[in-house]
Amino acid sequence: MSGDAQLARVSVRILEKEYQFACAVEERAALLDSAEYLNAEMRKIRDSGKVVGLDRIAVMAALNMANELLKSRARAADGPGEDAVHRLRVLRERVEATLERGQQVEI
């Protein structure tokens, strides 16, 4: 993000906890989509009743998402689709950055 980029303040809710972030205006939609996807994945894990505790649920969601990414990479390696791999990598990085920032600025 360049020093003169306009920042958007974004508030997301993940498993009934509110997190606030600042991001470049053009990344706002991607951040909201990432948070929505993460929330849905964490809800599935929590609602299964097999994993208890926010930290464990978050780690399980991260592992599931990493597994999906690696499978996608393997499929992409078998043929065209490097663009899809790049988009998945960017998405993963955004999710990781969102989680890191969220833990630091948790309300």
Give the model's pLDDT for residue 107: 34
In the chain, what are the domains?
Answer: 7-104 (3.30.160.880)
- The encoded tokens of residue 69 equal 């990414």
How many angstroms separate the CA atoms of 65 and 58, rounded?
A: 10
Cβ atoms within 10 Å, residue 43: 15
pLDDT score, position 46: 95
Closest by CA to 66, choosing from 88, 87, 81, is: 88
Question: What was the pLDDT predicted at 105?
Answer: 39
What averages of pLDDT result for each successive group of 10 residues across the chain (107 residues)? 75 94 94 95 94 92 92 74 75 78 49
pLDDT at site 72: 84
Compute the distance between CA of residue 12 and CA of residue 66 in angstroms, rounded to an integer: 22
Q: What's the distance, CA 105 to chain centroid?
A: 16
